[in-house]
Amino acid sequence: MSILSGKNILLGISGGIAAYKTASLVRLFIKSGANVKVVMTPASKDFITPLTLSTLSKHPVHSSFVNEEDDNSVWNNHVDLGLWADLFVIAPATANTMSKMSNGVCDNLLLATYLSAKCPVYFAPAMDLDMYKHQTTLESFKKLKSFGNIMIPATSGELASGLVGEGRMAEPEDIVAFIEKDILDKLPLKGKKVLVTAGPTYEAIDPVRFIGNHSSGKMGFEIAKAAANLGAEVVLITGPTHQKVSHSFIEVIPVTSAQNMYDATHKYYNNVDVAILSAAVADFKPKEMATQKIKKKTDTLTLELEKTKDILASLGDIKKQQYLVGFALETNNELENAKEKLKRKNLNLIVLNSLNDKGAGFKTDTNKVTFIDDKENITEFQLKSKVEVASDLLNKITKEINA
């Protein structure tokens, strides 16, 4: 999955011959999983039609402040467009448009939207060789980059004039690759490896039955996605669950029992920077597993149970450079029990939640947690979605390991 997946990308098109390439650019953004809207200068419509771009983006294309063909004269709000965007990509960026951008000229919808945008702005210059080398254009490049805009350099090749040289807009595939790399290079967990455990474990009684719990795996899967979205390479070790994830940075390792999860975590643990153990691992398992289905011959059944290996404690014992995070689901004396678990298992951070809190616990889309770290800092949060909890947790970890 591309890092652009789920992003809102606003594509600004100015009036140059390279505008014909934007149909392919829109398709590539859509293919990457992004949502795309298009804003055009009036001159750009001479090179590619709004209908083409609207069809590809599945959104209306805007090129003026009002839709003049509409009897109601609907206002196209440049502020809303600018705030909607996670990324603003101006391609092609002509000499004329860049000069206006660098000097605050605001005489069309694209420029008004640019001045309203709060997101990163990428611009891909496109013009003839002499225009590209002109001092005023070079000044535009310098000023736009000084404002924090990101330039996607033009390439050399045959130009519309017939000349061969610099000024050709980067190809759509290269524009997408440039933006993806730029985003990834700036992510705070780029180059880090994160191990996450999720879901329940099933401890077999016989070939048919097992001892398990109500964990859905939602929290662990959201943590894995949050870590991957920050650039980390993630190993997600999960017990049986209906949760799904598709992300190029996440490797999913399915397991069943506590022993399976123990073996998998120890296999990967030495090579990770962060380990977040959110799985609900069984504390006990049947001492003996029946080789055949147990028949219902009596009114009662006695099972002898034995402890499973404590995965979290075993990782704390061998911890070196890893930042180790555990979870504590408590029903009484929550804070005291969590603090004791933090120290006993040699953790850097423990995430406490309680079954006494409405909306927290298993099989919900929300959670109410408290962070307790090894410096005795305690941070309580209100009830939030598990997506938000995962974000809070990864923000905390990122600050700690990058401090």
| 184-221 pLDDT tens trace | 999 999 999 999 999 999 999 999 999 999 899 999 99
Whether the full predicted model's pTM is greater than 0.85, yes or no, is no
Same domain, 182 and 224: no
Mean pLDDT, residues 162-184: 90
Q: In sequence order, which residues have a C-beta less than 8 Å from that of residue 109 and are 6 or more positions away?
A: 39, 41, 62, 63, 64, 65, 76, 78
Same domain, 178 and 266: no
Same domain, 238 and 154: no
The neighbouring-strand residues paired with 157 are 165
Helix, strand, coil proportions of the chain in percent (round to 5)? 35, 25, 40
Structural domain count, the chain: 2
- What digits encode the pLDDT tens for the residues 303-354? 999 999 999 999 999 999 999 999 998 778 888 999 999 999 999 999 998 7
Domain that holds residue 348: 193-401
Same domain, 240 and 315: yes
Run of H or E residues at 187: none
Does the pLDDT of residue 403 top 80, yes or no?
no
Separate counts of helices (H) and strands (E) for the chain: 13, 21
- What digits encode the pLDDT tens for the residues 77-126? 778 888 999 999 999 999 999 999 999 999 999 999 999 999 999 999 99
Q: What is the pLDDT of residue 265?
A: 98
**What CATH number does the domain containing 135 carry?**
3.40.50.1950
Same domain, 388 and 273: yes
Residue pair 325/279 in contact by the 8 Å Cβ criterion: no
For the record, the structure tokens of 298 come out as 């009596």
Percent with pLDDT over 70 in the chain: 95
Q: What is the pLDDT of residue 357?
A: 67
Mean pLDDT, residues 287-292: 91
Catalytic positions:
213
Q: Is residue 3 part of a domain?
A: no
**What CATH number does the domain containing 254 carry?**
3.40.50.10300
Question: Is the alpha carbon torsion for 22, 25, 30, 35 positive or negative?
Answer: negative
Residue pair 364/214 in contact by the 8 Å Cβ criterion: no
- Band of pLDDT at residue 76, cut at 50, 70 and 90: low
To which residue do tokens 């003839």 refer? 128
- Band of pLDDT at residue 72, cut at 50, 70 and 90: low
For the record, the structure tokens of 201 come out as 């474990």
Residue pair 368/356 in contact by the 8 Å Cβ criterion: no
